[in-house]
Amino acid sequence: MNDRKRLPKNRRSPEAFLERELTERSLDILGIIARYRIVPTSAIVRLVDGNEDVTHRHLQLLYHRDLVGRVNRPGTSRNTEYAYFIEKSLRLRSVLPRHRLKELGLESRQRRSIVVPSENNGPGRQLFLEHEIMISDFRAALEIAARNSDNRVVLEAWKQGTETWDRVRVNSSGARSILPHRPDAYFVLQFPTAAEGQQRGRFFYEADRGTTNTTRFNLKLQAYLSFFLTGQYAEKYQSHKVRAVLIQAITQKRMQQLMAVASALAQTEPLAGALFWFVASDQIQNSGGFAAVWSTVQDERKRSVLD
């Protein structure tokens, strides 16, 4: 144990792990890091079954063997928490057989490896990490809540990043324009015991860090409305129903600002009142993934993704 404490924090020491083999637990952790673009230690610990200290030791092994990358999580004191990511897919291919890469979803990591901005990028690097980790924390909350639901809820699908991006035509003030439609994520919850036709809930998710002004946020919501009203959603996702666009704000104050934008849009397009659901980060952190904490401008009732 003392040897582990003396290992350097931000420099790899592969020689300390030459005799350590990758186990099924190591591979489980690799699979989690592969599914998530960037995932903090605290989420990995919650997602992996078993002893927390053992999970930390496996993360240490993976880092020092140069199988994963890690950076300090923004907002924490140095070395108190890391965020992990798949950095070198070719390195993984050199130590894992192809069938294991495929099982873990790592076979095509080359095109999906994460490039974390360098320290020299300053605020840009921190904003990137904070945004990615916010998405991962939300996803982990959903996955853990589903796991604890006795199979009543399954996180059936999760899409993130460029695979969800599109361009949409928007009519605004009598003029037509093309806007980007770039959700942070799209996911599907399955309810195996529900009645026929009610067994899936489909959602888009936005992690708002407060860096976008309300004018640009208005355009984001307009793009969503057009994406549904013009039929692009049905064509791309082979479904005519989406339950909501979930928008997580970093503070209550920011949430109220965003809700005011949605309220103004709802005056001319009533769909905006029911489609956009809002929450502040502390409400999710304190309540879990399935809690009734989401607000709309349509009424005062709090909503849950299980509704």
Task: Tokens for 116, please give them.
Answer: 């974390």
What's the pLDDT at 17?
A: 67
Among 152-161, 257-266, 279-288, name the one with the lowest average pLDDT.
279-288
Helix (H, G, I), strand (E, B) or coil at 156: strand
pLDDT digits (tens, 9 = 90+) for 241-254: 999 999 999 999 99
The domains located in the chain, with CATH, are: 2-116 (1.10.10.10), 124-287 (3.40.1350)
Q: What average pLDDT score do residues 220-244 get? A: 93
Tell me how far apart the alpha carbons of residues 7 and 237 are, in angstroms, rounded to a whole number: 48
- Record the tokens describing residue 107, joined without a space: 């076979």
Q: What residue type is 262 in one-letter code?
A: A
Specify burial of residue 269 (Cβ count, 10 A radius: 0-12, 13-18, 19+): middle
Task: Note the pLDDT of residue 244.
Answer: 97
Span 83-131, pLDDT tens digits: 999 876 667 777 777 787 777 666 654 445 566 655 555 677 788 899 9
Pick the residue with more confidence: 64 or 108?
64
CB 97 within 8 A of CB 64: no
pLDDT tens digits for range 35-58: 898 999 999 999 998 889 999 989
What pLDDT shows up at residue 74? 81
Averaged pLDDT score across all residues of the chain: 86
Other C-beta atoms lying within 10 Å of the C-beta of residue 77: 8
Instruction: Provide the 8-state DSSP code for 295.
Output: B
DSSP conformation letters of 47-69? HS-S-HHHHHHHHHHHHHTTSSE
Distance of CA 288 to the CA centre of its chain: 15
Mean pLDDT of 194-210: 93
Confidence category of residue 199, pLDDT binned at 50, 70, 90: very high
